[in-house]
Amino acid sequence: MSTLVTGIAELVTNDPTRGESPLGLIPDAAVVVADGTVVWVGSATQAPAADIRIDVDGRAVVPGFVDSHAHLVFAGDRAAEFEARMTGARYDGGGIASTVAATRAAPDDLLRRGLADLVAEMRRQGTTTVEVKSGYGLTVEDEARCLRLAGEVTAETTFLGAHVVPPEFAARTDDYVAVVTGPMLDACAPHARWIDVFCEPASASAFDGDASRTVLEAGRRAGLGLRVHANQLSAGPGVRLAVELDAASADHCTHLTGEDIDALAGGSTVATLLPGVEFSTRSPYPEARRLLAAGAAVALATDCNPGSCFTSSMPFCIALAVREMGMTPAEALWAATAGGAAALRRPDIGHLGVGARADLAVLEAPSYRHLAYRPGVPIARALDLPG
């Protein structure tokens, strides 16, 4: 069964062969999809017939957002911690350890419901692909459980046993790394596409360059692709390690040296920026313009998680990228779609060329520019197609 989507005031294809911009804009456009795939794209006046017709009545259509960094399998509430951080009040609610404890204690159905609610919330905001990490279980059994649940909602599952060193391994990072790269990896690899590590020598509960390399190389041997939480809190070795090991993405990139930027520009690792984190922790934003000027590929993602950033909104991240990082609305949209797809090494998503997955987002606006022009307003939604 084929569906014609027409009445598109402005279509973003991300096909650079169409028009002057990398966004491959087509005005007054139509798209035909069949069996979940884009089969025709062009001017509405030239559109072929299809079984079903959807008229979006002068709205813009963009590729569904690809949110390539999210932590959605968790239990517990950290709103009070957020409030304390924002107001400078003392707070000792346990931070990430409180999420780990609540997640371990939660039955599957509670985790499954929270995960489903967040994925649905994202879809209502235009996100059609989301990567989901483990990392709040931190035992062999709980990490595997979180990844099994993540696999129920997405193909982009990431094993993040090396998120933090859990309390029971405090000051025994090497012992914990041995678990992560041994029995935990064995239990988790069947449920994961990716492995990730929080590389941050500045944090006692995270992993230094050597430990991160150990984790990533073990993951690669187990058949997993690589991703790195890199250079969030300091200009550590994460980004260069990610590029050296050809990780798909180095995420955060908040503190970069010139050498880090050169490495990203020279490699195939995407710099995934997560400006919602800087918003919600009142931190300085990454230097997107330096990355773009150097020729690095840039993605935007939410980092949706209960601690440092609980936004699920890709449009909000686009608005921040424009306001706070000086990205153009076009660069920000590209980063939130094609950039995210590159960060997941997925040629089938993040664009709307023929052959792409039929992931369309409709905007309550005539142009993609409104994603930044209308900050905080829920103007994007994933288009539900029949069949």
Contacting residues toward its own copies, per CB under 8 A: 77, 79-80, 82-83, 86-87, 121, 124-125, 276, 279-280, 282, 310-313, 315-317, 319, 322-323, 326, 328-329, 364-367, 369-370, 372-378
Nearer to its own copies, 147 or 363 (CB): 363
Nearer to its own copies, 89 or 171 (CB): 89
Structure tokens at 137: 């279980």
Asked if 296 contacts 286 with a C-beta cutoff of 8 angstroms, the reply is no
CA–CA gap between residue 383 and residue 349 (Å, rounded)? 15
Nearer to its own copies, 126 or 236 (CB): 126
Nearest to 352 by CA among 60, 148, 138, 110: 60
Nearest-approach distance from CB 79 to its own copies, in angstroms: 4
SS3 35: coil
Nearer to its own copies, 90 or 282 (CB): 282
Dump the DSSP string for 181-219: IIIIHHHHGGG-SEEEEEE-TT-TTSB-HHHHHHHHHHH
Nearer to its own copies, 125 or 231 (CB): 125
CA–CA gap between residue 272 and residue 381 (Å, rounded)? 23
Nearer to its own copies, 111 or 319 (CB): 319
Nearest-approach distance from CB 226 to its own copies, in angstroms: 29
Structure tokens at 71: 């932590």
Nearest-approach distance from CB 286 to its own copies, in angstroms: 17
Asked if 263 contacts 239 with a C-beta cutoff of 8 angstroms, the reply is yes
Nearest-approach distance from CB 170 to its own copies, in angstroms: 28
Which H helix or E strand runs over 145? helix 140-151
Asked if 241 contacts 219 with a C-beta cutoff of 8 angstroms, the reply is no
Nearest-approach distance from CB 329 to its own copies, in angstroms: 5
Nearest-approach distance from CB 385 to its own copies, in angstroms: 23
Whole-angstrom Cα Rg for the chain = 21
Q: Counting beta carbons within 10 angstroms of the beta carbon of residue 220, is it exposed (0 to 12), middle (13 to 18) or buried (19 or more)? A: middle
Nearer to its own copies, 67 or 142 (CB): 67
Dump the DSSP string for 41-80: EEEGGGPPP-SEEEEEEEEEEEEPEEE--B-----S--HH
Nearest-approach distance from CB 204 to its own copies, in angstroms: 26
Nearer to its own copies, 224 or 365 (CB): 365
Nearest-approach distance from CB 323 to its own copies, in angstroms: 6
Nearer to its own copies, 95 or 151 (CB): 95
Q: Counting beta carbons within 10 angstroms of the beta carbon of residue 49, is it exposed (0 to 12), middle (13 to 18) or buried (19 or more)? A: exposed
Nearest-approach distance from CB 10 to its own copies, in angstroms: 10
